[in-house]
Amino acid sequence: MKHLRSIDELGPDGLRHLLDLSDHMAEVNRRPIPKVPALRGKTVVSLFFEDSTRTRLSFETAAKRLSADTMTFSVGTSSVNKGESLRDTIETVAAMGVDAFVVRHKSSGVPWQISRWTEASVVNAGDGWHEHPTQALLDCYTIRTALNRPEGFDGLHIAIVGDIKHSRVARSDVWAFAAMGARVTLVAPITLLPPSLEGWPVEVVHHIDDIVDKVDVLYMLRMQRERMHEALVPSLREYTANFGLTPDRAERLQTHTLIMHPGPMNRGVEMAVDPSELPGSVIAQQVTNGVAVRMAVLFHLLGSGSGLAGEA
Amino acid sequence: MSVVIKNGTVLDRRGEQRGDVRIADGVVTEVGANLSGDVELDASGCMVSPGFVDLHVHLRQPGREEAETIETGSRAAARGGFTAVVAMPNTEPPHDSLAVVQMVRRLGEQAGLCEVLPSGCITMGRLGETLAPFSELAAAGVHIFTDDGTGVQDPLLMRRALEYGKSLGIVLAQHCEVSRLTEGAVMHEGGCCSRLGVPGWPSVAEELMVFRDIELSRLTGAPVHFLHLSTAKSVDLVRGAKAEGLLVTAEAAPHHFTLTDESLSGFDPIFKVNPPLREAADIAAVKRGLADGTIDAIATDHAPHVSESKEMPLDQAPPGMLGLETSLALSISELGLDLGQVVALLSWRPAAIAGVADRHGRDIEVGAPANITVFDPDLNWRVTAAGLASKSRNTPYAGRSVRGKVRHTLLRGIPTVIDGEAQR
């Protein structure tokens, strides 16, 4: 495998392999000196055309723990809007000798375009509304470890709640959870669903109360405030009333149900309850696991098979 | 000087007949066997048909000469077998003044590769607010008025345009798109855009305006031409309007009967076009519409763009693709129609809509202006971007094998293309 641009191109076997590899990376991260020489001499460039502190830091930490050299190229989206050629940017940076580009862009598909212009590996760190495959991997890894499901998610019921239409996290998670064997239910008003769900391995309900006491994982998406101005929901108050996790609903969760969120959270909107008071919340673990999962991805794409032994 | 097209089969409204065609002083002077002339063009295995007329090209001059000029676009047109093209008004400045329209026409004459027919804007600056000077432009020979690139959103303004234009004998051509429904849209709204996480352009945004303008045509009695129909329902609406005897005509572009929205699954902006590539059912409906006469003409919507612009992210890249040099081949290869039907869609039917039936699309008989296309309907060839005469390279068909190729084109009796090579 050369690139990680979507969950689909990873496939179920690739997904499981990366989760197994993430276990090894988590073990590295628990060492007193959490650093191995596996990617020494490799260069990883973070190309963030859209701000994202947490994903960028997570990738850079992952690359450094594998001893790769890292460069960061942060570009305001404005320069692209002014007609700056994306291709020129890529070819210029690639000419410095790059093994992998980690790309975040507000436009769907940019990682595909970049992969046509460079020999380097391309890792999608989030493109538009399209995909965010390493988020889906860390979500799977978090569920797998928290619910002790190393074999897969058969019999698990996962609900993804909120703005599916504009969510790259949902577009990766749906396919990843389904590939792991889970039953996936989307919970959203029709205005926040994609125009067509034909071929999606999901069920749909339009009220969180329909599923809150039935699911094993409740995955809450961020509700962006600007959606109100597009007549997608009448008000945030009404959104919270129908789709938010409130204290009342938290009471109705099964004791083993995991609460997840990709961050950053909108307190009082989709999370109308303090997540630190929810025993099932694994939101902090998601962030922690992100590093191990991204190490697994970089190692899988760039590693020469030298293993994880030794210290850098 | 006389030119003779030898050993071909003449194909026009009357059918097919073998024969040589002699041309002198810009008109056909004889059709018969074993003719000879000062210049002889071989047409063995070829059809000799009235020249093609493209109702919809973007020549980009003035304003975007880095993508195409009237000369380079005319050369592409001639190589595609066209003897007349209607130049869309969305230049910079646009075709809303006599000066621009006259300049476009003059540059077309100077290039001498095909007749360039400037369209006129419906509204000043294509802004949809006030009417362009219809009668002044009509007096300068403009027949088709359109704000192409955008639709006239205001129904009152469109009504007034139809009423005012009716007495002038002009045709209003609509780019059907209710823009409020397509804000930020990048590709067809359906299963594919849902998976790709790309904002969708719903079919209903086109169909609502097709419906509105059919009803405005009924109300005013003025003709309306529908540009680049792309959806099954649009085709049905036009079919119904024609059955009622309303004065509507329509065109479809080759990409709307050859490519679907699935082409965008690799996020390549080369496949971004407006209206967008749609679904297999829409392609089938467009083909049926072309076959049964609901759609009057194949028009390319030739839209050159410099390569840098097609290397922008998909949502920021401009829509549009080249069409002039692949239109005949795609029509022959993909429509499954008789050659006579294909040529009707490319020649005399668009010529009538463009108001140039006196000199384009005429049967090849003595006295007819010699605007003629000679094409080999059986020649297989592979499209390459570098092999095109257009100044831009944004063809979605590069690498595709197609059948049917223009061999010679004659404009007013002068060969503009011989054996596929432009003569100027």
Confidence (pLDDT) at A80: 53
> What is the structure's pLDDT at A85?
78
Asked if residue A111 and residue A11 are part of one domain, the reply reads: yes
The one-letter code for the residue type at B24 is A
Catalytic residue among B38, B301, B376, B378: B301
Q: Could you say which of B194, B309, B313 has the minimum Cβ distance to residue A110?
A: B313
Nearest to B267 among A85, A113, A199 (CB): A113
Q: How far apart are CA B151 and CA B160, in angstroms?
A: 15
Confidence of residue A79 (pLDDT cuts 50, 70, 90): low
Give the pLDDT confidence score for residue A275 in this predicted structure. 86
Q: Confirm or reject contact between B183 and chain A (CB < 8 A).
A: no
As given in the structure block, the two tokens for residue B73 are 């676009």
pLDDT at position A306, please? 61
The confidence band for A73, taking pLDDT boundaries of 50, 70 and 90, is: confident
Chain B nearest-CA distance from A32, in A, is 42
| pLDDT exceeds cutoff 90 at A228 | no
Distance CA B37, CA A111 (A): 60
Please state, in angstroms and as integers, the Cα–Cα distance from residue B25 to each residue in A188, A203, B30, following that order. 72, 73, 12
Task: Pick the catalytic residue from A132, A157, A168, A222.
Answer: A132
DSSP one-letter string for B267-282 = --GGG--SSPPB-HHH
Q: What is the mean pLDDT of residues A139-147?
A: 98
The answer to whether residue A229 is catalytic is no
pLDDT of residue A52: 85
What is the number of H-type helices and E-type strands within chain A? 10, 9
Residues A20 and A55 in one domain: yes
Taking CA atoms, what residue in A is nearest to B268? A113
Closest by CA position to A164, among listed A194, A195, A208, A122: A194
Determine the pLDDT at residue A104: 95
Mean pLDDT of A262-286: 92
3-state secondary structure at position B162: helix
Residue A225 lies in a domain: yes
The question of whether A56 is a catalytic residue gets the answer no
Residue A185 sits in the same domain as residue A256 = yes
C-alpha separations of A204 from A167, A200, B189 in Å: 16, 10, 20
Of A42, A56, A65, A104, which residue is the catalytic one? A104
pLDDT of residue A227: 73
What integer best gives the mean pLDDT of chain B? 98
pLDDT of residue A77: 52
Which of A2, A31, A54, A256 is labelled catalytic?
A: A54
Q: Quickly state the pLDDT bin for B94 (edges 50, 70, 90).
A: very high
Q: Which of A3, A55, A145, A157 is catalytic?
A: A55
Q: Chain A residues within 8 A (CB-CB) of chain B?
A: 80-81, 83, 85-87, 105, 107-110, 112-113, 116, 127-131, 168, 171, 194-200
pLDDT tens for each residue of B364-416: 999 999 999 999 999 999 999 999 999 999 999 999 999 999 999 999 999 99
CA-closest candidate to residue A271, choices A199, A211, A216, A208: A208
Chain A / chain B CB contacts < 8 angstroms:
77
Q: How far apart are CA B311 and CA A191, in angstroms?
A: 31
pLDDT at A267 over 80: yes
Measured CA to CA, the distance from residue B374 to residue B80 in angstroms comes to: 10
Nearest to A85 among B189, B194, B311 (CB): B311
Instruction: Inspect the interface and report whether the beta carbons of B267 and A168 lie closer than 8 Å.
Output: no
Phi-psi region of A45 (alpha: psi -120 to 50; beta: other; left: phi over 0): beta
Q: What is the pLDDT of residue A78?
A: 47
Q: B345 pLDDT band (50/70/90 cuts)?
A: very high
**A214 in any annotated domain:** yes
**A309 domain-assigned:** no
Compute CA distances A54 → A286, A287, A290, B199, whole Å: 11, 8, 10, 26
Q: Does B276 touch chain A if contact means CB atoms closer than 8 Å?
A: no
Cis peptide leading into residue A264 (ω within 30°)? yes
As for how many domains chain A has, the answer is 2
Residue A226 confidence (pLDDT) above 80: no
Length of chain A in residues, anyone? Answer: 312
For residue B246, name the pLDDT band (cuts at 50, 70, 90).
very high
Question: In sequence order, what are the residues at sequence separation of 6 or more whose Cβ sits closer than 8 angstroms to the Cβ of residue A229?
Answer: none
Instruction: Identify all chain A residues contacting B193, using CB atoms and an 8 Å cutoff.
Output: 194-195
Q: Which residues pair with B145 in a beta bridge?
A: B120, B172
Q: Per the CB < 8 Å rule, is B308 touching A131?
A: no
- Paired strand residues for B376: B405
Q: Which residue of B has its CA nearest to A175?
A: B195
Per-residue model confidence as pLDDT tens digits over B300-331: 999 999 999 999 999 999 999 999 999 999 99
Q: Which CATH number do you get for residue A63?
A: 3.40.50.1370
The whole-angstrom separation of Cα A170 and Cα A261 is 11
pLDDT score of A84: 60
- Residues of chain B neighbouring A81 (CB-CB closer than 8 A): 316
Q: Which residue has the tokens 């100077």?
A: B110
Torsion angle of the four alpha carbons A102, A105, A108, A110, in this order, in degrees rounded to the nearest 10: -60
Per residue in A83-96, pLDDT (tens digit) is 567 898 899 899 99
What's the mean pLDDT in A272-297? 95
Question: Which homologous superfamily does the CATH classification assign to the domain defined by B2-47+367-389+402-422?
Answer: Urease, subunit C, domain 1 (2.30.40.10)
8 Å CB contact of A113 and B194: no
pLDDT attached to residue A254 = 97
Residues spanned by the domain of A23: 7-132+287-302
**pLDDT recorded at residue A82:** 59
Mean pLDDT (chain A) is 93
Q: Is B281 part of the contact surface with chain A (CB cutoff 8 Å)?
A: no
Which residue shows structure tokens 């849209």?
B185
% chain A with pLDDT above 90: 83
CA dist., res. A171 & res. A132, Å (int): 8
One-letter amino acid at A71 equals M
Q: Does residue B152 surpass a pLDDT of 90?
A: yes
For the beta carbon of residue A181, count every other beta carbon within 10 angstroms. Answer: 14
In sequence order, what are the residues at sequence separation of 6 or more whose Cβ sits closer than 8 angstroms to the Cβ of residue A12? Answer: A179, A180
Q: How far apart are CA A139 and CA A218, in angstroms?
A: 12
Q: Which residue has the higher pLDDT, A228 or A109?
A: A109
For residue A51, name the pLDDT band (cuts at 50, 70, 90).
Answer: confident
- DSSP string over A206-257: S-GGGTTTT-SEEEEPP--GGGGGGTSSS-HHHHHHHHSB-HHHHHHS-TT-
Please name the residue of chain A whose CA is at the shortest distance from the CA of residue B315.
A107
What is the torsional sign of CA B68, B71, B77, B78?
A: negative
Residue A87 sits in the same domain as residue A224: no
Q: Encode burial over B333-366: b for 16+ CB neighbours within 10 A, e otherwise.
A: bebebebbbbbbbbbbbbbbbbbbbebbbbebee
Q: Please report, rounded to a whole number, the percentage of residues in chain B having pLDDT higher than 90.
A: 100
Residue with the two structure tokens 């089938």: B284
Same domain, A15 and A71: yes
How far, in Å, are B385, B386, B400 from residue B307 at the CA level?
A: 11, 12, 19
**Domain shared by A139 and A263, yes or no:** yes
Residue A308 lies in a domain: no
Contacts of B316 in chain A (CB under 8 A): 80-81, 107
- Give the CATH fold of the B51-354 domain: TIM Barrel (3.20.20)
The mean pLDDT of A137-141, rounded to a whole number, is 98
Extents of the domains making up chain B: 2-47+367-389+402-422, 51-354
- A20, containing H or E segment: helix A7-30
Q: Are residues A108 and A36 in the same domain?
A: yes
pLDDT, tens digit, 9 for 90 and up, residues A59-68:
999 999 999 9
Residue A254: CB atoms within 10 Å: 12
Place of tokens 């503009």: B416
- What was the pLDDT predicted at A74? 78
Which residue from B379, B397, B376 is spatially nearest to B388, judged by alpha carbons? B397
Question: What contacts B152, CB < 8 A, 6 or more positions away?
Answer: B122, B123, B128, B158, B161, B174
Q: Which amino acid is at B423?
A: Q
Residue A267 — left, alpha, or beta (φ > 0 → left; ψ -120 to 50 → alpha)?
Answer: beta
Number of H helices, E strands in chain B: 11, 21
CB B56 within 8 A of CB B301: yes
Does any domain span residue A1?
Answer: no
Q: Is the pLDDT of residue A1 over 50?
A: yes
Model pLDDT, residue A75? 74
| DSSP 8-state symbol, B88 | P
- Would you call A85 and B314 a contact, using CB atoms and an 8 Å cutoff? no
Our answer to whether residue A132 is catalytic in this structure is yes
What value does the mean pLDDT take over residues B136-153?
A: 98
